[in-house]
Amino acid sequence: MKALTKTDFNFPGQKSVYHGKVRDVYNINDEKLIMVATDRISAFDVILPKGIPFKGQVLNQIASKFLDATTDICPNWKQSSPDPMVTVGVMCEGFPVEMIVRGYLCGSAWRAYKSGVREICGVKLPDGMRENEKFPTPIITPTTKAEIGEHDADISKEEILAKGLATPEEYALLEKYTLALFQRGSEIAAQRGLILVDTKYEFGKHNGVIYLMDEIHTPDSSRYFYAEGYKEKFAKGEPQKQLSKEFVREWLMDNGFQGKEGQQMPEMTDAIVASISDRYIELYEHITGEKFQKEADTNNVLERIEKNVLKAL
């Protein structure tokens, strides 16, 4: 099993390439984007030293399925997925905010709430809530899109409008799309015995039209609980069984690493890498309800991707 951690393609019409934490995005003539989901993995805003075999395929194929399952809600950037690790789509000018939507009080929102905070991103929260409790209705808590090496920061609707990051009409549509997508994602999750707890969406404009961009409803961008046992665990105040990449963060924290200065990254043994790969495949099968088909040719991944993308272009 070989992991793909680096790409350096030169496609026809290529104007630039952006290497993100996980994805490598190729700009073709300022018209199309070729997004390669590599096997890189990040946690605490740090790229881990080893890639995870099949992780890129898992993320790309989950996102591809959910993009296809939501085209009736809003237009999205995807045109095709010519390779298990690649999506090709229209180039959009992204809004500099991420639309985070939460159905339950957990994660960073719970940590803030526990410390006494009762307003997040301009959204007032009721007193007396407990960890992992369902909100009466989902809330939207946007963040800014940070530059590399910086952390995303909470921002309110009022600040987004005051800074001109979106017009009132655009923001109303972003909110509408966000809630409708979350509703659809929650319905699909429920069919699989899962609860979609929180997730994030990114939007951009193409020819004046707002498009949904990037990945959606993947374990890297979303948190899921198992529906079975949720009520019992909540009643007892026990941690919920999660379906997200939280297990990677927990392994790092258990080994004394949270991305802070001076901390040593723990050794990623072959056994650890294999176990993370297995967990991502398990995530895929739970979220999609389908058996994961490992792409057979993992020795010549770069050649395979190049060949498939060239056919698509």
176: containing domain: 94-243
Q: Are residues 109 and 232 in the same domain?
A: yes
Q: Are residues 167 and 210 in the same domain?
A: yes
Q: Are residues 125 and 221 in the same domain?
A: yes
Which pLDDT tens digit goes with each residue over 198-235? 999 999 999 999 999 989 999 889 999 999 999 999 99
Contact 301, 4 (CB under 8 A): yes
Q: Are residues 232 and 284 in the same domain?
A: no
Which pLDDT tens digit goes with each residue over 147-161? 655 567 899 999 999
60 in a structural domain:
yes
285 in a structural domain:
yes
Output DSSP code: residue 50: S
2 in a structural domain:
no
Q: Are residues 75 and 192 in the same domain?
A: no
Supply the pLDDT for residue 298. 66
Long-range contacts of 259-265 (CB under 8 A, 24+ apart): 259/43, 259/44, 259/45, 259/46, 265/46, 265/48, 265/49
Instruction: Count up the domains in the chain and report the number.
Output: 2
24 in a structural domain:
yes
Q: Are residues 83 and 108 in the same domain?
A: no
CATH of residue 204's domain is: 3.30.470.20
Q: Are residues 65 and 18 in the same domain?
A: yes
What is the C-alpha to C-alpha distance for residues 224 and 220, in angstroms, rounded to an integer? Answer: 11
Can you give the pTM of this predicted structure? 0.90
CATH of residue 42's domain is: 3.30.200.20
Q: Are residues 44 and 109 in the same domain?
A: no
Supply the pLDDT for residue 299. 74
Statement: residue 276 has pLDDT above 70 = yes
Q: Are residues 134 and 236 in the same domain?
A: yes
Statement: residue 279 has pLDDT above 80 = yes
Between 48-52, 54-58, 257-261, the lowest mean confidence (pLDDT) is in: 257-261
Q: What is the DSSP string of 205-230?
A: EETTEEEEES--S-TTTEEEEESTTH
What is the C-alpha to C-alpha distance for residues 131 and 113, in angstroms, rounded to an integer? Answer: 9
283 in a structural domain:
yes
260 in a structural domain:
no
Which pLDDT tens digit goes with each residue over 74-116? 999 999 999 999 999 999 999 999 999 999 999 889 999 999 9
Q: Are residues 151 and 273 in the same domain?
A: no
